[in-house]
């Protein structure tokens, strides 16, 4: 009995010694000195083939300093899946721009570590010693050294040759990219900034904003905590801004509007805030209540002049150079058309329509040729119909005149045809319905037909499916004077045979008369005037795009606007 007891004690001692040894070995952290790694010519494509697979997530802590330094600590938490014994990881990064300061491996036994000849890929082979392996990478980079390139389609917005000391856009290429067999489950990103600075994080492929789960101030530091569930890289936008905020009540809803202004342009902050509030209120009346609970507008020093982008879910970037009510209203309307309702390229037509309609009804200093300019721009590309342009992948240069300018104008024409009440009810129905399923032109036509209780085939055929525009001509023009009055009579012919209501304005030396008449290819008009007719103006309020001209008949000026 005594022997058994002592044997047991001995066994327990051995076991505890063994466990103690193992656990200290398992939690052992291995620091790899990157500068001493031997160089290898492993091919990255085949390297991971026989590796154990993982489910993994990444936690990044980034310290951002005004002087240019970014110091980052990225921890990859790997959970083994299956039971392959050897695991491999390849970490590629922009050498020498990114400096790896430290590489640590936890709960794993290192088998081999090497570096590519270009010193830009680190290869690690290891044996996981526990279910959970951690790889920590500490690196540094100077953001003042980099250009805002590698942005994908966001590059259209950004002037990629501009560096700025108060703003930077970090594309995915400025982060080490870790290749692992398995599935990435999520990302967390903690950014520590000087407190006058802000960061915005979006998904590098869809540009959807990452969720800001926490934001706090700690001393002179701002700490922002972002999260995202998929495996895409973040695109990080950081800048020094003055913030202007306001809460707007829209019926039962509160919307927090925040303008992020470059520090040297802060004097524009309050004016911009009021403009944005007015736009949000107007569009909420026209299109239904603003769909989100916040609207962040970042005025960027890196964006190209007059450029803007609605990233979605209430985040908008507009250029600090040439941002005005036109640009703001265009981008804000994308919160309904494009961000909330999925309409493909048709949202650009509706955003341009919105900007036109907002400027015309709310801007104090609309230039008299405002609609003329829009009409002329839309005529710059005359060979492609809107329906075709919506479906094709034209360059922005080719697309702009049609999809933006002509499209916006055609919705203005539809507003004229249907009247405000029916037209805006149609747009509200589009916003409601196309949030759940994406809508094309056919569905949009059906929605307007339903709300107006009219067949609109003729309108859509003419304006969306054909590349033509009306071409009005005045014929058989006569003026008969009788009892001190003037009887004006003429034929109106449309060489392109559109069916459209047309405003006709007669200017006389005593009065101006405006009539609306339907032209189906042609029409005959007789107007009685008190004064002597001086001019006949067709489409004086520019409700539609048409061939503009000006000539004289019998001393009367004929103008097609």
* Positions in the binding site for Zn ion (CB under 5 A): 348, 351
Nearest to Zn ion of 348, 503 (CB atom): 348
Shortest CA distance to 278 belongs to which of 300, 262, 295? Answer: 295
Write the CB contacts of 4 (distance below 8 Å, at least 6 apart in sequence).
Answer: none
Q: Are 480 and 457 in contact (CB under 8 A)?
A: no
497 burial level (CB within 10 Å; 0-12, 13-18, 19+)? middle
In the complex, the smallest distance separating the C-beta of residue 309 from Zn ion, rounded to whole angstroms, is 8
* Minimum CB distance to Zn ion smaller for 203 or for 348: 348
Comparing C-alpha atoms, which of 430, 409, 440, 411 is closest to residue 344? 440
- The rounded distance, in Å, linking the Cα atoms of 273 and 267 is 11
In the bound state with Zn ion, the residue whose beta carbon lies nearer, of 349 and 415, is: 349
Q: Using CA atoms, how far apart are residues 286 and 329, in angstroms rounded to an integer? A: 13
In the bound state with Zn ion, the residue whose beta carbon lies nearer, of 106 and 331, is: 331
Residue with tokens 């360059």: 395
CB of residue 330 to Zn ion, shortest distance in Å: 6
Angle at 449 between CA 443 and CA 455, to 5 degrees: 115
In angstroms, give the least distance from the CB of 306 to Zn ion: 12
Structure tokens belonging to residue 72: 């980052």
> Which residue sits closest to Zn ion, CB atoms considered?
351
- Can you tell me the distance from the alpha carbon of 54 to that of 133, in angstroms, rounded to the nearest whole number? 10
Q: Which is nearer to Zn ion, 272 or 333 (CB)?
A: 333
Question: Cα separation of 154 and 156, whole Å?
Answer: 5
**Minimum Å distance from CB 310 to Zn ion?**
7
Q: How far is the CB of 487 from Zn ion (least distance, A)?
A: 49
CB of 297 to Zn ion, least distance (A): 14
CB of 397 to Zn ion, least distance (A): 15
Output the smallest distance, CB 99 to Zn ion, in A: 39
Question: Which of 27, 438 has the CB closer to Zn ion?
Answer: 438
DSSP run (H or E) holding 7? helix 2-26
User: From CA 193, how far away is CA 114, in angstroms rounded?
Assistant: 34
Instruction: Name the residue nearer to Zn ion (CB basis): 193 or 316.
Output: 316
- The CA distance from 73 to 140, in Å, is 9
Whose Cβ is closer to Zn ion: residue 343's or residue 387's? Answer: 343
């Amino acid at each position: 009995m005594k022997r058994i007891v002592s044997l047991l004690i001995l066994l327990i001692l051995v076991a505890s010694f063994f466990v103690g040894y193992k656990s200290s070995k398992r939690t052992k952290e291995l620091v790899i000195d990157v500068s001493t790694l031997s160089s290898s010519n492993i091919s990255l494509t085949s390297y991971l083939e026989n590796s154990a697979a993982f489910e993994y997530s990444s936690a990044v802590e980034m310290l951002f300093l005004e002087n240019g330094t970014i110091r980052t600590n990225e921890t990859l938490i790997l959970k083994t899946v299956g039971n392959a014994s050897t695991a491999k990881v390849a970490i590629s990064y922009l050498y020498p721009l990114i400096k790896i300061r430290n590489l640590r491996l936890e709960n794993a036994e290192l088998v081999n570590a090497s570096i590519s000849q270009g010193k830009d890929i680190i290869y690690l082979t290891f044996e996981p010693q526990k279910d959970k392996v951690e790889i920590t990478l500490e690196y540094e980079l100077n953001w003042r050294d980099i250009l805002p390139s590698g942005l994908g389609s966001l590059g259209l917005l950004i002037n990629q040759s501009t560096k700025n000391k108060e703003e930077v856009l970090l594309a995915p290429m400025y982060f080490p990219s870790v290749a692992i067999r398995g599935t990435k489950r999520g990302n967390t990103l903690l950014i520590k900034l000087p407190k006058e600075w802000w960061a915005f994080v979006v998904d590098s492929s869809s540009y959807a904003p990452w969720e800001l789960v926490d934001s706090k101030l700690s001393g002179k530091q701002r700490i922002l905590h972002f999260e995202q569930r998929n495996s895409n890289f973040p695109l990080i936008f950081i800048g020094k801004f003055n913030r202007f905020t306001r809460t707007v009540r829209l019926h039962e809803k509160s919307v927090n509007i925040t303008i992020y202004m470059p520090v040297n342009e802060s004097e524009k902050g309050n004016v911009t805030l009021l403009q944005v509030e007015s736009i949000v209120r107007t569009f909420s009346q026209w299109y239904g209540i603003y769909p989100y609970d916040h609207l962040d507008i970042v005025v960027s020093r890196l964006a190209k002049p007059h450029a803007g982008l609605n990233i979605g879910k209430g985040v908008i970037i507009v250029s600090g150079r040439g941002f005005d009510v036109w640009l703001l209203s265009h981008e804000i309307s994308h919160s309904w058309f494009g961000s909330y309702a999925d309409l493909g390229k048709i949202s650009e037509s509706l955003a341009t329509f919105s900007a036109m309609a907002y400027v015309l009804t709310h801007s104090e200093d609309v230039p008299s040729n405002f609609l003329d300019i829009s009409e002329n721009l839309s005529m710059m590309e005359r060979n492609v119909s809107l329906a075709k342009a919506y479906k094709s992948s034209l360059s922005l240069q080719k697309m702009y005149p049609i999809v933006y300018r002509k499209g916006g104008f055609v919705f203005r024409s539809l507003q004229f045809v249907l009247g405000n009440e029916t037209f805006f009810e149609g747009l509200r129905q589009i916003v409601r319905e196309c949030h759940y399923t994406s809508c094309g032109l056919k569905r949009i036509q059906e929605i307007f037909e339903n709300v107006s209780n009219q067949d609109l085939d003729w309108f859509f055929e003419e304006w969306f499916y054909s590349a033509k525009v009306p071409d009005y001509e005045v014929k058989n023009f006569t003026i008969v004077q009788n009892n001190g009055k003037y009887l004006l009579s003429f034929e109106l012919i449309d060489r392109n045979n559109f069916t459209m209501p047309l405003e006709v304005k007669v200017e006389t030396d005593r009065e101006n008369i405006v009539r609306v008449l339907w032209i189906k290819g042609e029409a005959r008009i007789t107007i009685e005037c008190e004064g002597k007719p001086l001019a006949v103006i067709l489409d004086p309020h520019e409700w539609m795009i048409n061939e503009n001209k000006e000539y004289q008949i019998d001393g009367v000026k004929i103008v097609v606007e």
